[in-house]
Amino acid sequence: MSDILWPAGYVPGFTDNYCSNEVIVAGLTTGEIWPFLNIPARWPTYYRNCAGISFHDGKGPDFENGVRFRFSTFGFPVEARIVEHIAPVTGQPARVAWHGWTGDGESRLDVHHAWLIENLSGDRVRILTQETQNGAPAKELARTVPNPMINGHQDWLDGLIAAARAA
């Protein structure tokens, strides 16, 4: 199976916090899931932990490489830029990743959040989302039990699957 492509400074094991969530489900395809991830205005319809989504420079509503956007999640107002965007193509996984940041100085948080969606044999699809974080807020999140990132991203995956099934 495919894996996430990590930029320098964001490789798991060398960051202040890391989370990984994955689901494999039958009866859906990458193409059916993609619009619910690639059009962030849809996120709040199935994931309660995000709000205030907007694009910079008149872009949107779909993601594309280099696009800047903002949203709120986990209590943080996040500025972000798409750094990887590969729409579904037969025989290769779809990918989207962004560098997100919030705060400054000691309160600065930098993240790399990546998604990979790939069709598998037997009419199954795999959705993998992983995030690495750097900064004091990341260190605090890493110590929190239960882990809010793991639980929040699982909610996101569960909602994404339910939205795609309902469509």
Distance CA 160, CA 152 (A): 12
pLDDT at residue number 106: 93
The sheet with strand 109-120 has its strands ordered as 17-26, 124-134, 109-120, 94-102, 76-86, 68-73, 50-55
Tens-digit pLDDT profile for residues 91-124? 999 999 999 999 999 999 999 999 999 999 999 9
pLDDT at residue number 2: 87
Label residue 135 exposed, middle or buried (CB < 10 Å: 0-12, 13-18, 19+): buried
pLDDT at residue number 103: 95
Q: What would the CATH number be for the domain defined by 17-166? A: 3.30.530.20
Q: How far does Cα 119 stand from its chain's mean position?
A: 18
Print pLDDT tens along the chain (167 aa). 789 999 999 999 999 999 999 999 999 999 999 999 999 999 999 999 999 999 999 999 999 999 999 999 988 899 999 999 999 999 999 999 999 999 999 999 999 999 999 999 999 999 999 999 999 999 999 999 999 999 999 999 999 999 999 99
Q: Where are the domains of the chain?
A: 17-166
pTM for the complete prediction?
A: 0.96
